[in-house]
Amino acid sequence: MSNVFPEGFLWGTATAAHQVEGNNTHSDFWAMEHLPDTVFAEPSGDAIDHYHRYPEDMALLQELGFNSYRFSVEWARIEPEDGRFSTAALDHYRRMCEASLAHGLKPVLTYHHFTSPRWTVSQGGWNNMVIAEKFARYAGVVTQHLGDLTEAVCTINEVNIPRMAAMLWMADGAGDTFVQQAAQALHTTPEQFAPFMFAGSVQARDVIIAAHHQARAAIKAERPSLPVGLTIAMSDMQALPGGEAERDRMRWELQDVFLEAAREDDFVGVQTYTRERYGAEGGLGPEEGVATTQMGYEFWPQAIGATLRYASEVAGVPLMVTENGIGTTDDGRRLAYYQTALQSVADCLQDGLDVRGYFAWSAFDNFEWMLGYRPTFGLIAVDRATQQRTIKPSARWLSQVAKANRLV
């Protein structure tokens, strides 16, 4: 059992623009949050105003001893209308990258984290192959402006989540009235409605994979040496006796296809929260006696080790833990989660897996999509009335690990 992490290991936290910045008004999500029959618990609003407060926020992350920060640049701000790029928005993200570096945090940038400009939806969204070209064009522009300051790029966050949503959570549709209203607001039809999260078809899957490949080429054309990868949502998919075939079928659909698409990448970003069990009939809920989190997931921190091993086996490229964490109001549970999770990452390293970094989800309590602000994944609490930040004890523990580059 080793406790030491390799030299140069990236230690950081992760955020996503829409979840922290506030007022992402040109995005499809903003429009969807404000419909009369919205499926969002509440709108994102000012979020935690990271758009303006990033210097103070980065100072906190520096104080905690991290050496990297994974954040996303917002396509809807950078290209608010098709083909119209905002130099001001690009400059904003350049200032963020500069501030990040000045705080000793190497920027790992995500180019797409769930939200897209509104205009993409009116063009058929992620069902239409045209978006792959548009996304690649945007990726080229971003790289031209920020590539010299960037440590690594995650093209698309959780390439498999739309497919997962369609197969696991939204089998009954996301609410007909909502889709009708959203389609109308975003100038499309319910049949062609495909914002990223709602693009669960096989066709959309192929569009998303093509968008990643084309973006990778556009990034490499600007900066051949910049490491590029995608990220994938992975639970540890376990089979009970008799459930192997069903588990393998689902794992092929939800993980293998995407990991195979990453075989030419510089790394794959693994994002893990829990495990899922399969029996002959399909997915089983949480096992009796196993505690669950605010998300209803089983408390299963060792899942990260299992998913790293599986990702390595299928993709065969270096790995990065781009998200790992827990939604809980009990920070002691969070600490326990990180202790077990990091031990399982250390065990993977010991066994020779090439893991380059670990990013906790999340730096701050933030906007948890449809669930609003209720789930709290942050290492740092935020009082949204005052925007006051408070470092939690779990962050202090992770800080010691990051500073020592070993488990303490």
Catalytic residue chosen out of the listed positions 79, 158, 276, 323: 158
User: Is 331 a residue that touches ligand GCO (CB under 6 A)?
Assistant: no
Closest distance between ligand GCO and the C-beta of residue 358, in Å?
Answer: 15
**Residue 331, SS3?**
helix
Closest distance between ligand GCO and the C-beta of residue 198, in Å?
Answer: 15
Hey, what's the torsion of the CAs at 293, 297, 299, 302, to 10 degrees? -140
Report the alpha-carbon distance of residue 112 to residue 151 in Å, rounded: 16
Report the alpha-carbon distance of residue 20 to residue 45 in Å, rounded: 10
Nearer to ligand GCO, 124 or 229 (CB): 229
Binds ligand GCO (CB under 6 A): choice among 183, 368, 376, 395: 368
Give Cα 401 distance to the centre of its chain: 23
Residues in 142-161 that interact with ligand GCO by CB under 6 A: 157-158
Report the alpha-carbon distance of residue 49 to residue 33 in Å, rounded: 18
The candidate with the shortest Cα–Cα distance to 405, out of 13, 66, 62, 4, is 4
User: Is 307 a residue that touches ligand GCO (CB under 6 A)?
Assistant: no
Distances (CA, A) of 69 to 62, 101, 209, 304, 392: 10, 9, 25, 20, 18
The candidate with the shortest Cα–Cα distance to 180, out of 44, 76, 32, is 32
**Residue 284, SS3?**
strand
Closest distance between ligand GCO and the C-beta of residue 196, in Å?
Answer: 11
Q: The tokens of 315 are what?
A: 């993709």
Segment holding 214, helix H or strand E: helix 202-222
User: Is 299 a residue that touches ligand GCO (CB under 6 A)?
Assistant: no
Strands laid side by side in the 282-284 sheet: 236-239, 275-279, 282-284
Nearer to ligand GCO, 27 or 157 (CB): 157
Binds ligand GCO (CB under 6 A): choice among 361, 364, 373, 397: 361
Residues in 177-236 that interact with ligand GCO by CB under 6 A: 233
Q: Are 275 and 298 in contact, with CB atoms under 8 Å apart?
A: yes
The candidate with the shortest Cα–Cα distance to 27, out of 71, 70, 89, 88, is 89
Closest distance between ligand GCO and the C-beta of residue 390, in Å?
Answer: 20
User: Is 121 a residue that touches ligand GCO (CB under 6 A)?
Assistant: no
Closest distance between ligand GCO and the C-beta of residue 77, in Å?
Answer: 17
∠ Cα 171 174 176 (to 5°): 115
Burial class (CB in 10 A: 0-12, 13-18, 19+), 224: exposed
Report the alpha-carbon distance of residue 181 to residue 190 in Å, rounded: 9
Report the alpha-carbon distance of residue 190 to residue 313 in Å, rounded: 39
Closest distance between ligand GCO and the C-beta of residue 87, in Å?
Answer: 28
Give Cα 127 distance to the centre of its chain: 21
User: Is 377 a residue that touches ligand GCO (CB under 6 A)?
Assistant: yes
Give Cα 13 distance to the centre of its chain: 11
260 assigned to active site: no
Binds ligand GCO (CB under 6 A): choice among 100, 271, 293, 344: 271
Closest distance between ligand GCO and the C-beta of residue 43, in Å?
Answer: 16
Residues in 7-26 that interact with ligand GCO by CB under 6 A: 16, 19
Closest distance between ligand GCO and the C-beta of residue 295, in Å?
Answer: 6
Q: Which residues are catalytic?
A: 158
Binding site for ligand GCO (CB under 6 A): 16, 19, 157-158, 233, 271, 323, 361, 368, 377
